Amino acid sequence: MKITAAVVNGVNEAYELEQLTLGELYPDEVVVRIVASGVCHSDEALRVGDAPFPMPVVLGHEGAGIIEKIGSAVKNFNVGDQVVMAYNYCGTCASCRTGHPSSCNEWAALNMSGGRPDGSHIFYKEDGTPVSNFFAQSSFATHTIAHVNNLIKVDPEEDLRLMGPLGCGLLTGFGTVVNGLQAKTGSSIAIFGIGAVGLGALMTAKIIGCSTIIAIDIHDTRLETARELGATHTINSRTENLAKRIAEISEGQGVDYSIDTTGISSVMKASIQVLGIGGVSAPVAVTPNSVEFNTFMDLVLANRKLIGVLMGDAIPQLAIPELIKFHKEGKFPFEKLVKYYKFDEINQATADANSGETIKPILIIDEDYRKEEPLVFN
């Protein structure tokens, strides 16, 4: 089957739309016609080499589409079903069977190796060169092959053009607050970096009833969005004294929780330093940077904790329907974060995300989907 995909052929090279061939469909996989895909910072981290990955590659891991073909072993899905795609997991290891599929023993092999565990590939160039896939979905393509564990079925009335970002960025923000930090009603939280992950965390903090929600960024427009979505306080860390403002807001006590989505060393350290006694911090960015701190002074002395949270430690098949429900209720209005781009504008969408102009770019790959409900593009 011939498809069109946005291919990255080398580190820091631009996306190029190329014709590829889909490989063999395995029994536990489906062919998905991609309607739309969010553009995530993790895609950019791989493209520029911050996280090493075998190239050439088709990136994209916030895909939403329609099943066109199913493998012989696939159950509970049918041709024509609307799906959101998240990450793959084995389903049989101890982590998967105890409700932590993002800690799957095979997570890296299934999502980050560029191919299937048996070494085969999903995409091939016209000359037979294999092209790596990402997250077992590679949604920057007109069609892809995805494992059944990637799939979350959504109701036919849901607009797939909006749904894709639920599969990674928003899932990560939501899950980090609920599953990772296990934030409590009435608590305080500081969120560093007000992109899609940060705003997903912010909206979740509001839903669960955090009484103090502090949004920190260097873009005033993003801070305005944060206030609109529930931030009780905002700080522009480029123009304001962060430590002083946090001390004022917390009456010198520090915050109960913090999340860093920036991956910048100084910011990650600041997210630890603003914690109060017993506070917990979660750095969640894909980053090549590290952070240096004194374990006794910065953690032990105040009983602070620093935790890793991958994909929000969430079960996508449970969390994504919950986020859709919150969206319908007006509690998770993530449509306010997005801007739509045509598929061939992928490099512009990436540039706008990098500059901060767009919080969550969404590529419309199938422009014929719901043509009776036209979108406003970038």
Q: What is the pLDDT of residues 177-190, one digit of tens each?
A: 999 999 999 999 99
Report phi then psi at 263, rounded to 5.
75, 10
Mean pLDDT, residues 267-286: 96
Residues 162 and 195 in one domain: no
Q: Domain check: are 103 and 186 in the same one? A: no
Mean predicted confidence (pLDDT) in 333-347? 97
Cβ atoms within 10 Å, residue 169: 29
pLDDT digits 0-9 by tens, 20-62: 999 999 999 999 999 999 999 999 999 999 888 999 999 999 9
Contact present, 257 and 187 (Cβ < 8 Å)? yes
Same domain, 270 and 339: no
* pLDDT confidence band for 219 (50 / 70 / 90): very high
Q: How confident is the model at residue 245 (pLDDT cuts 50, 70, 90)?
A: very high
> Is residue 157 located within the same domain as residue 184?
no
Under 8 Å between Cβ of 199 and 176 = no
Rounded to 5 degrees, φ, ψ at 364 are -95, 105
Q: Does the structure show a pLDDT above 90 at 216?
A: yes
Classified as helix, coil or strand, 33 is strand
Task: Work out the average pLDDT over 125-147.
Answer: 96
35 lies in the same domain as 94: yes
3-state secondary structure of 187: coil
- Please check whether residue 122 is in contact with residue 4, taking contact to mean a CB–CB distance below 8 angstroms: no
The total of structural domains in the chain comes to 2
Entry pTM: 0.94
Q: What pLDDT is recorded for position 52?
A: 86
Give the per-residue pLDDT at 43.
95
For range 230-257, the mean pLDDT: 96
Domain stops at, among 272, 295, 310: 310
Whether 340 is covered by a domain: the verdict is yes
Return the pLDDT at 54.
95
In a shared domain, residues 205 and 152 = no
71 and 11 assigned to the same domain: yes
Domain that holds residue 264: 173-310
Residues 237 and 297 placed together within one structural domain of the fold? yes
**Do residues 156 and 191 share a domain?**
no
Q: How far apart are CA 207 and CA 202, in angstroms?
A: 9
Residues of the chain with pLDDT > 90, as a percent, come to 96
Burial (CB count within 10 angstroms: exposed 0-12, middle 13-18, buried 19+), residue 109: middle
Q: Are residues 197 and 289 in the same domain?
A: yes
